[in-house]
Amino acid sequence: MDIFEKAERLKQLPSYLFKEIDRKKAEVMARGVDIIDLGVGDPDLPTPPHIIQALKKAADDPANHRYPSYSGMNDFKEVVATWYQERFGVELDPASEVVSLIGSKEGIAHLPLAFIDPGDVALVPTPAYPVYNTATIFAGGQPYFMPLLKENSFLPDLDAISGAVADRAKLMFLNYPNNPTSAVADLEFFKRVVEFAEKHRLQVCHDAAYTEMAFDGYRSPSFLEVDGAKEVGLEFHSLSKTYNMTGWRVGFAVGNQKGIEGLGAIKSNIDSGVFQAVQMAGIEAIRGDQSCVEDMIRVYTRRRDLMVEGLRDAGFQLQPPKASFYLWVEVPGGYTSSQLATRLLEEAGLVVTPGNGFGDPGEGYFRIALTQKRERLSEAAERLKAMKLK
């Protein structure tokens, strides 16, 4: 017997998409090809200086060198509650309805451990950010996949979920603005989700990491704006995309008190909270000068417009996103998602993410992340046109 044989929970996981992309990218780079990476959604813009200065000041204070509270600094949670009130009109008790996270991914991944028992069902969108599926598997749950299809505006068809499945479900994952499709949801959809959750007695986990990355005056709603939402769910937010802080690992969950308690109980047994200096920088990010967010939106708007025009000129079909920094592009006839992604990499030095890597319904699409400067995006568009795929 191999003493390092992997546990069954690891054997159940699908292969990690970006690991294979990195392997292929390394092979092409070894041939001396100039690679333009449009794959991973990691902002190339730097964290704003005033946030960095807040971290430096806080890091110099020995009071911040000790263990933090696992649930978060009171000041941080109060700032989050105030922001929710000002941004969405949602009232939160910072003491019982807010918890700080080591990035929203951490909280989303831990939530099923608090509420899913082996054999329980979780409703998982597909194509989707992989953590919803993997977190369910790690908790011993059974994922039931909700396809996100073009004909439904990339929203799950709640009516297509049988009553038997819905009644077994303990948890539903949602994510709007959406990764990878860049679709958005309105309050009418969230109202139907609340009604569904109330009917079937399940909890909603809404990943709202991209609400502040929106264009052309669009304002993404919060799931918690709907009457009754706080009785059935939690919303997860991150400072990563709004303030270009992916490496800082700070976010928060808000919503139902019992949901926050359950998540906090898991966290208190697994981690020791977010470094207080990072939380203090997070306070500055949320409460400080927001012109950096406006600047970020302007940058991504220009990148979006440039790349949408370039893709269309090259014969591709897509809808300009209202939010997020992703483009969800239809694959031309004659290719699978993976075949096209491989050809773009090998012949044009372009890294894109095949849609089927996010789940089977993503077949027929590829995702582009707008995380390169405009000059590089222009070069990517020219390479696409030169390939004459259509």
SS3 at position 320: coil
| pLDDT over 70 (residue 17) | no
Q: Would residue 83 be called left, alpha or beta, if left means φ above 0 and alpha means ψ between -120 and 50 degrees?
A: alpha
Cα distances from 20 to residues 23, 34, 75, 357, 382, in angstroms, run: 5, 19, 42, 10, 26
**Mean pLDDT, residues 139-152 taken together:** 97
- The rounded mean pLDDT for the chain is 95
| Tokens read off for 121 | 């069902």
Domain ranges of the chain: 8-46+291-387, 49-287
> Can you tell me the mean pLDDT for 52-74?
94
Tell me what the mean pLDDT of segment 315-340 comes to: 94
User: How does pLDDT run across 172-196, given as a tens digit for each residue?
Assistant: 999 999 999 999 999 999 999 999 9
| The two domains 8-46+291-387 and 49-287 share their CATH topology (first three levels equal) | no
Is the predicted pLDDT of residue 14 greater than 80, yes or no? no
| pLDDT at residue 390 in the model | 61
Chosen CATH of 49-287 out of 3.40.50.2000, 3.30.750.24, 3.30.390.50, 3.40.640.10: 3.40.640.10
In this prediction the pTM is: 0.95
Query: CA 84 to CA 116: how far, in whole Å?
Result: 28
Q: Class for domain 8-46+291-387, per CATH?
A: alpha beta
| pLDDT tier for residue 1 given thresholds of 50, 70 and 90 | confident
Residues 76-88 have a mean pLDDT of: 98
In the chain, the N- to C-terminal Cα span, in Å, equals 53
Higher pLDDT, 13 or 379: 379
> pLDDT tens digits, residue range 277-306?
999 999 999 999 999 999 999 999 999 999
Place of tokens 């997020």: 324
| Vertex 339 angle, CA 336 and 341, to 5° | 105
**pLDDT band, very low/low/confident/very high, at 9 (cuts 50, 70, 90):** confident
Helical H segments across the chain, by residue range:
8-11, 17-30, 49-59, 74-88, 104-115, 131-138, 163-168, 187-200, 229-232, 257-270, 276-287, 291-313, 337-348, 374-387
Amino acid in position 265: A
